[in-house]
Structure 1
Amino acid sequence: MTDPCATPDFTAAETVSEAAPPPLRASEAREAAAVFVAQLNPAPSARAVQNLVLLSSELVTNAIRYAGGVTALSFGADQGALHVRVVDPSPTHPQCRAPDLTGRTGGFGWPMVLRLANNVTVHRHGSRGKTILATLAR
């Protein structure tokens, strides 16, 4: 059985990019996503670009807020899909929480990730953290 979160072998028709160093803020993740998609030819749809930027921001925000930071951020693309992969040091699976309508404590990020992405996988690395891979249509 293959690991769905392992870095795939990209063919000539696919592109992959890793943000180095890993982002310390969501704004850095948004910038890395924008830089990645600007290099793609043909360009993804405007909606796909917006969704990738938002997914990247939410996944990095959640990793910083709840999982102790981001240890890796990478992007991939093929003819039909865009991928964002975030690795963090916490083995805890993301949780859906009741949204705080006052806006002080969140609760909107993980449900948003699940709605925006066509597919989301979470792969635990034992006690050494996890990888979240979100895929959306190009």
Structure 2
Amino acid sequence: MSGTAVSRTSALPVSTVVQGESAAGIGEARQAARAFADRLTPAPDPDMANTLVLVVSELVTNALRHGGGTFRLRLNARPDAIEVAVDDTSPQLPRMRTPDLTGTGGGFGWPMVNRLASTTAITRQAGGGKTVTACLLY
């Protein structure tokens, strides 16, 4: 993809795909999300761009930690929203857990994604695994 700005209102989809299988992929996914937001015209406001990066980071981290150790991130822009979709190889669905306040057990990410996104969805893949999708409205 080029660094050229792309209109969210054009008929052509604006998208980015990142894949990873290690913790380094989390940083790559965050950078891809920031670059994706920077390419959109009109640009999302800074709070929306930061929310996008945070949601991407949480979903990719969850895919690596709980979803089989690999992920594929897809970002798609629409005129009114950004769709974040993360595929992993685990059939285990995300679940709400009581957050571990000692800092060792997690439990904060999925509830946070659900609060920040206007909608979330989980789709089981035919060959196993799942796609977790979060939609962020402008």
TM tier relative to shorter chain: 0.7 to 0.9
Q: 1:16-55 residue pairs with structure 2 within 5 A?
A: 16-19=15-18, 21-22=19-20, 24-25=22-23, 26-55=26-55
Aligned length in residues: 127
RMSD between superposed Cα atoms in Å: 1.6
In 2, are the aligned partners of 1:13 and 1:79 still within 8 Å (CA)? no
Structure 1 runs (4+) deviating above 6 angstroms are none
Structure 1: gaps of 5 or more residues: 1-10
Q: What is the one-letter code of the residue matched to 2:91?
A: P
Q: Percent identity?
A: 44
| TM-score normalised according to structure 2 size | 0.85
In 1, are the aligned partners of 2:63 and 2:71 still within 8 Å (CA)? no
Distance 1:56 1:86 in 2: 8
| TM-score normalised according to structure 1 size | 0.85
Q: Following TM superposition, by how much is the alpha carbon of 1:126 offset from its aligned partner in structure 2, in angstroms?
A: 4.1
Q: Deviations over 1:50-98 (max 9, x none)?
A: 1110000000111111111233111011111011110000011101111
Structure 1 pair 23–73 and aligned structure 2 pair: CA distance change class (3 A): farther
Distance 1:63 1:110 in 2: 11
Q: Give 1:109's aligned residue.
A: 109
Q: 1:37-76 residue pairs with structure 2 within 5 A?
A: 37-76=37-76
Structure 2: gaps of 5 or more residues: 1-9
Distance 2:64 2:128 in 1: 16
Distance 2:127 2:78 in 1: 32
Q: What is the one-letter code of the residue matched to 2:22?
A: L
Q: What is the one-letter code of the residue matched to 1:61?
A: T
Which structure carries more relative contact order (alpha carbon 8 Å, separation 6+)? 1
Q: Which has the higher strand share?
A: 2
